[in-house]
């Protein structure tokens, strides 16, 4: 298995481009199942999770081609199977996103139940309850969700918890349902809005995207479209934290600052100087050491759980003490044990981590455990004394496009060593 070797100490400087958002690309690829004519998706990030989704759709019989501009064309008219196998779902929980579209358009789906997950139990009960309320017949057999439906019907749904993929699955299902579906306590994440905009361009009737109440009027058929995925706010935030930790000055292009308000405000609190335009963000640290910040994660527009590990790493080398509370997922402090091996002073009490920055982290052999946790280890490696080796980086490749190239372009000393 590949590993990353990072020689700490370089101050990040320069410009890079941000890729398309993984968490918008995944549901949008699933949404191509709903269209009766081909869909073209632009600004697709090159990531393992995207390859996995394309493999999943390909196995169902869909025709997928990638053109010279790396746009992905998907034709669902050749579908022959309505099946998402365990071997793919277990590597990527977001595979559950095919359930809603398959049921809505073809009236059947066999989708493996996602198993346990490094960041908590992450059930899909709300996806299933919503589909059942819309008239689907669901059972679990041999680890698979077996679902059938005649035409789904529009209903009024109250979501017990704010769930991103749950909202997306049900919104996609509702686009072809008979009548009006209302999803209350819906997720407001920008990626949900991006999916809604893509569906609208396919002919769906959706109101309220970006608010906590979605109103979807079912139509008989959705057609193909060409759609450009929004920039990845988590990739953006990760490089900003990297720059802040190294005392660097960087400019990120092809991004959208408006999607990152909570993160930018915490970076400012940490001492960064931030300027931005519509599609770029510049962060200046001018060699300063960041100050520790306190935060708690919550659904959008709150501070994103997907940026929690990176700020834990920042606090670990910052001046002062920061308290981080993880309120979206249980058990999302896997990176803490690894950071402690680098000399970080972190005390975990339930879902809270109390982090007192040390002047100098020290390199150590590290093991990536999940996607964002792995990113935090790379960030810590950038400022540690000595060479840090991060193993099991397939987790990073799931969500960060060519991370070693982008960081090298900013002056980091990082290289990938093939197994």
Binding residues for ligand UD1 (CB under 6 A): 23, 26, 93-94, 120, 122-127, 161, 163-166, 191, 305-306, 328-329
Give the span between the Cα atoms of 34 and 62, in whole angstroms.
12
Give least dist CB 306 to ligand UD1, A. Answer: 5
Residue closer to ligand UD1 by CB (options 123, 179) is 123
Give least dist CB 419 to ligand UD1, A. Answer: 27
Give the span between the Cα atoms of 399 and 19, in whole angstroms.
10
- Name 349's Cβ contacts closer than 8 Å, sequence gap at least 6: none
Question: What SS3 string covers the chain?
Answer: CCEEEEECCCCCEEEEECCECHHHHHHHHHHHHHECCCEEEECCCCCHHHHHHHHHHHHCCCEEEECCCCCEEEEHHHCCCCEECHHHHCCCHHHHHHHHHHHHHHCEEEEECCCCECCECCCCHHHHHHHHHCCCEEEEECCEEEEECCCCECCEEECCCCCHHHHHHHHHHHHCCECEEEEECCCCCHHHHHHHHHHHHCCCEEECECECEEEEECCCCECCCEEECCECHHHHHHHHHHHHHCCCEEEEECCCHHHHHHHHHHHHHCCCEEEECCCEEEEECCCCCCECCCEEECCCCCECHHHHHHHHHHHHHCECEEEEECCCCCCCCHHHHHHHHCCCEEEEECCEEEEECCCCCECCEEECCCHHHHHHHHHHHHHCECEEEEECCHHHHHHCCCHHHHHHHCCCEEEEECC
- Name 198's Cβ contacts closer than 8 Å, sequence gap at least 6: 28, 31, 225, 227
User: Is residue 42 annotated as a catalytic residue, yes or no?
Assistant: no
User: Which position has the token pair 């949404």?
Assistant: 31
Residue closer to ligand UD1 by CB (options 294, 327) is 327
Residue closer to ligand UD1 by CB (options 60, 375) is 375
Give least dist CB 307 to ligand UD1, A. Answer: 10
Residue closer to ligand UD1 by CB (options 239, 329) is 329
* Active-site residue identified among 64, 117, 133, 219: 117
Give least dist CB 127 to ligand UD1, A. Answer: 5
Give least dist CB 370 to ligand UD1, A. Answer: 10
Residue closer to ligand UD1 by CB (options 111, 328) is 328
Give least dist CB 163 to ligand UD1, A. Answer: 3
Residue closer to ligand UD1 by CB (options 215, 233) is 233
Give the span between the Cα atoms of 269 and 256, in whole angstroms.
20
Residue closer to ligand UD1 by CB (options 49, 75) is 49
Residue closer to ligand UD1 by CB (options 109, 342) is 109
Catalytic residues, by residue number, are: 117
């Amino acid at each position: 298995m590949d590993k990353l070797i990072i020689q700490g100490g370089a101050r990040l400087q320069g410009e890079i481009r941000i890729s398309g958002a993984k968490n918008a690309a995944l549901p949008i690829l699933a949404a191509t199942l709903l269209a009766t004519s081909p869909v073209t998706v632009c600004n697709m990030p090159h990531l393992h999770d995207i390859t996995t989704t394309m493999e999943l759709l390909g196995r169902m019989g869909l025709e997928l081609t990638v053109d010279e501009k790396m746009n992905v064309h998907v034709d669902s008219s050749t579908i022959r199977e309505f099946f998402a196998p365990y071997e793919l779902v277990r590597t990527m929980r977001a595979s559950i996103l095919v359930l809603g579209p398959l049921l809505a358009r073809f009236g059947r789906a066999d989708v493996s139940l996602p198993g346990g997950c490094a960041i908590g139990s992450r059930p899909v009960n709300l996806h299933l309850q919503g589909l059942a309320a819309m008239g689907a017949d669901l059972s679990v057999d041999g680890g698979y969700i077996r679902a059938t439906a005649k035409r789904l019907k529009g209903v009024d749904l109250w979501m017990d918890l704010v769930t991103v993929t749950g909202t997306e699955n049900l919104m996609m299902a509702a686009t072809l349902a008979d009548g009006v579906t209302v999803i209350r306590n819906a997720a407001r994440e920008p990626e949900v809005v991006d999916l809604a905009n893509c569906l609208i361009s396919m002919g769906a009737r959706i109101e309220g995207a970006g608010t906590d109440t979605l109103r979807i009027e079912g139509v008989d058929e959705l057609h193909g479209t060409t759609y450009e995925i929004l920039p990845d706010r988590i990739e953006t935030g990760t490089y900003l934290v990297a720059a802040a930790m190294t005392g660097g000055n960087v400019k990120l292009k092809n991004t959208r600052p408006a999607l990152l308000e909570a993160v930018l405000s915490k970076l400012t609190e940490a001492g960064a100087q931030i300027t931005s335009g519509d599609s770029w963000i510049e962060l200046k640290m001018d060699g300063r050491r960041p100050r520790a910040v306190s935060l708690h994660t919550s659904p959008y527009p709150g501070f994103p759980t997907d940026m929690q590990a990176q700020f834990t790493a920042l606090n670990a080398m910052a001046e002062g003490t920061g308290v981080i509370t993880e309120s979206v997922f249980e058990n999302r402090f896997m990176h803490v044990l690894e950071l402690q091996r680098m000399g970080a002073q972190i005390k975990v009490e339930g879902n809270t981590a109390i982090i007192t920055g040390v002047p100098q982290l020290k390199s150590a052999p590290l093991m990536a455990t999940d996607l964002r946790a792995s990113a935090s280890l790379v960030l810590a490696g950038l400022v540690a004394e000595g060479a840090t080796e991060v193993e099991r980086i397939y987790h990073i490749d799931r969500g960060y496009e060519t991370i070693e190239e982008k960081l090298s372009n900013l002056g980091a000393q990082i290289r990938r060593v093939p197994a």
